[in-house]
Amino acid sequence: MSGISSLWRTRYRHDAPQDLPDNPTLQLLMKHHSVRSYLPDELPAGALEAGIAAASSAATSSNLQAWSVVAVQDKETRKRLAELAGGQKHIEVAPVFLAWIVDLSRLERIAARRGLESEALDYEEMFLMGTLDTGIAAQNAVTAFESMGLGTVYIGGLRNHSEEVAQLLKLPPKTVAVVGLCVGRPEPSKQNGYKPRLSQKVVLHREVYDTTQEVDGIAEYDRADSAYQHEQGLPQRAWSETVAKRVESYRGLSGRHVMKAVLNRLGFSLK
Ligand SMILES: Cc1cc2nc3c(=O)[nH]c(=O)nc-3n(C[C@H](O)[C@H](O)[C@H](O)COP(=O)(O)O)c2cc1C
């Protein structure tokens, strides 16, 4: 598959507008798909460092650079992380696991070395900012790895047991691993297709927020997602029903409804 219009059709399951710009970066971004089956081969030389350089090159709020990343290659540690993330086998198989860390501890140390307090770090705004910067950095790394022919999958399951993860990775107070990322060579015979996404009539609001096309757009997406599930030999389901059930109760949070208390214990006051 190539060409932006073809990629658009695959992503949205309807025709592309005329005159879309087309370039290798757009094509790479639109070819994203999560990879959960990996060859055990190591990453090519320099791939990890190039991926992190891409992460470091992302924009960062006030240039505070309030994130860190722990690269785990040790098999036993990956095995334990796979268990902590709810038994996700791909963490064990992929040769590298990156734990993306919201890191307010470095700013605290920098202030302390200058004999200053770091009161601002106790506010929820700083945590929100750090989380946003960490996610932006991680996504730059994803794109960089994909540009090298590597595959990735984010692991939000890492937050199922944030305190155990912090202990395992020796994280200091005021840090938390907000998301993980498996990185490796995709196993070619076992790859997913390109999962469709909500159309722009649902997600792109012009000038002001507008839901007039939402019901139609969601119905179309339910059909597109069902077709994708069918093609992949996965159980049929309506996406809107799945997500509605997911948000119906706190139980849909897989035990993470206690996150605020966990973050408090990890040193984030969240005032
Ligand atoms: C923050 C975040 C956390 C995620 N956590 C997991 C996870 O724990 N396990 C997993 O298999 N996929 C995880 N994913 C991948 C999503 O399931 C995937 O991106 C989504 O279904 C869309 O599929 P695609 O990436 O192949 O297009 C996560 C994605 C994001 C952005």
> How does pLDDT run across 99-109, given as a tens digit for each residue?
999 999 999 99
34 lines ligand 1 (CB under 6 A): yes
Confidence bin at 11 (pLDDT 50/70/90): very high
Pick the CATH number of 33-193 from 3.40.50.2300, 3.40.50.300, 3.10.20.30, 3.40.109.10: 3.40.109.10
- The response to whether residue 197 sits with its C-beta less than 6 Å from ligand 1 reads no
Atom 8 (ligand 1) nearest CA: 155
**CA of residue 236 to ligand 1 center, whole Å:** 19
pLDDT in tens, 182-223: 999 999 988 888 999 999 999 999 999 999 999 999 999 999
Confidence of residue 66 (pLDDT cuts 50, 70, 90): very high
For residue 33 and ligand 1, the question of a CB distance below 6 A is answered with yes
Alpha carbon nearest to ligand 1 atom 28, residue: 154
Q: Specify the residue with its C-alpha closest to ligand 1, atom 31.
A: 154
pLDDT above 60 for 1: no
Q: Which residue has a Cα nearest atom 19 of ligand 1?
A: 34
Q: What is the mean pLDDT of residues 215-243?
A: 95
Q: Which of 142, 153, 195, 259 to mutate to test the pocket of ligand 1 (most atoms within 8 A of CB)?
A: 153
Paired strand residues for 150: none
Ligand 1 centroid–CA 15 distance in Å is 26
End-to-end C-alpha distance for the chain, whole angstroms = 49
Tally Cβ neighbours within 10 Å of residue 57.
12
181 CA to centre of ligand 1 in angstroms: 10
**Residue ranges, CATH 3.40.109.10, the chain:** 33-193
Residue 2 has pLDDT above 80, yes or no: no
192 within ligand 1 shell (Cβ under 6 A): yes
Does the Cβ of 36 fall within 6 Å of ligand 1?
yes
Chain segment 134-172, per-residue pLDDT in tens:
999 999 999 999 999 999 999 999 999 999 999 999 999
**Residue 10, ligand 1, Cβ within 6 A:** no
Ligand 1 midpoint to CA 154 (Å): 5
Token pair for 94 = 């992929």
Whole-angstrom Cα distance, residue 141 to residue 50? Answer: 8
CB-ligand 1 contact for 65 (6 Å cutoff): no
For ligand 1, say whether the CB of 29 is within 6 Å of any of its atoms: no
**Ligand 1 proximity of 88 Cβ (cutoff 6 Å):** yes
Interval between CA 152 and ligand 1 midpoint (Å): 10
Arithmetic mean of pLDDT over the chain: 96
pLDDT digits (tens, 9 = 90+) for 78-127: 999 999 999 999 999 999 999 999 999 999 999 999 999 999 999 999 99
Q: Which atom of ligand 1 is nearest to the CA of 158?
A: 8
